[in-house]
Amino acid sequence: MIAVDFHVHSIFSLCGLHTVLELLEHGRTIGMRGFAVTDHGPALGGRLNTVFFERFVSPDPHFGILKGIECNLLDREGAIDLPGEYLRFLDILLCGFHHNFPKGLGRQAYTGIMLAALRRNPMVDIVTHPNDAAYPVDYGALAEAAAAAGAAIELNNSKLRYPRSTPAEAVALLVACKEMRCRVAVCSDTHAIHELGDDAAVAPLLRQVDFPQELIVNRTAAAAFDFVEQRRALKR
């Protein structure tokens, strides 16, 4: 199980099912220490709730609820749909390719676009699901660029669970991250409640490639909260 899960959608994403408090209740029940609510940026049609960002605090001082957004790539120059007024409220910023972006452009194009996004948006903390088969990227080039930017690459449990990628692709991603000394974040990408904190599909792959523990930003709850604090200055 993931102690602090950095990738969770609430009912404010069009694809999410649950309220923040329902997610909190389940997270506590299964022994998690926190999660980030990372609803999609506006290009996917959901809603970023201003009250959540400006006023919400976790009702449980022992359970961290982080404020995040999973932004979408918007164009070939690497623009993302981050509404600037939310930046100062963010604990964590995720970014990835989603169905608003054209498919079929090829690995070279998607790699260049993601590298441009990291250059243009140094506040991006985690690149989500780069092993999504619909948007192939060069894992070595991405891992090198993410490591240089201090960002982490996501190891996404849902992409294997459902399956939108393969274990072989996830292993190739991990091997590239290990070689480039790029940090990874193990995340569930929760949309339905039973997915919260779940790493069952990816945990065996981390062991298979003997992935260095120190490169996993959320290997413990303390490490996860440290990562958030390390990156905070980039959002102010």
Residues contributing to the site for Zn ion (CB under 5 A):
70, 96, 128, 189
**In the bound complex, what is the minimum distance in angstroms from residue 41's beta carbon to Zn ion?**
10
**In the bound complex, what is the minimum distance in angstroms from residue 128's beta carbon to Zn ion?**
5
**In the bound complex, what is the minimum distance in angstroms from residue 134's beta carbon to Zn ion?**
11
What letter would DSSP give residue 81? -
Helix (H) or strand (E) holding 228: helix 221-231
**In the bound complex, what is the minimum distance in angstroms from residue 233's beta carbon to Zn ion?**
25
- Closer CB to Zn ion, 39 or 138, in the complex: 39
Q: Which of 77, 55, 30 is nearest to 188 (CA)?
A: 30
Return the number of other C-beta atoms located less than 10 Å from residue 57's C-beta.
Answer: 8
**In the bound complex, what is the minimum distance in angstroms from residue 177's beta carbon to Zn ion?**
18
- Closer CB to Zn ion, 138 or 154, in the complex: 154
- Closer CB to Zn ion, 36 or 180, in the complex: 36
- Closer CB to Zn ion, 157 or 208, in the complex: 157
- Closer CB to Zn ion, 94 or 145, in the complex: 94
What letter would DSSP give residue 55? H
Return the number of other C-beta atoms located less than 10 Å from residue 124's C-beta.
Answer: 27
DSSP string across 3-33: SEEEEE--TTSTT----HHHHHHHHHHTT--
* 37 phi, psi to nearest 5 deg: -85, 115
Strands 4-8 and 34-40: parallel
92: which residues sit within 8 A by CB, 6+ positions away? 6, 36, 38, 66, 67, 68, 125, 126, 228, 231
Tokens of 218: 């959320």
- Closer CB to Zn ion, 128 or 157, in the complex: 128
**In the bound complex, what is the minimum distance in angstroms from residue 137's beta carbon to Zn ion?**
14
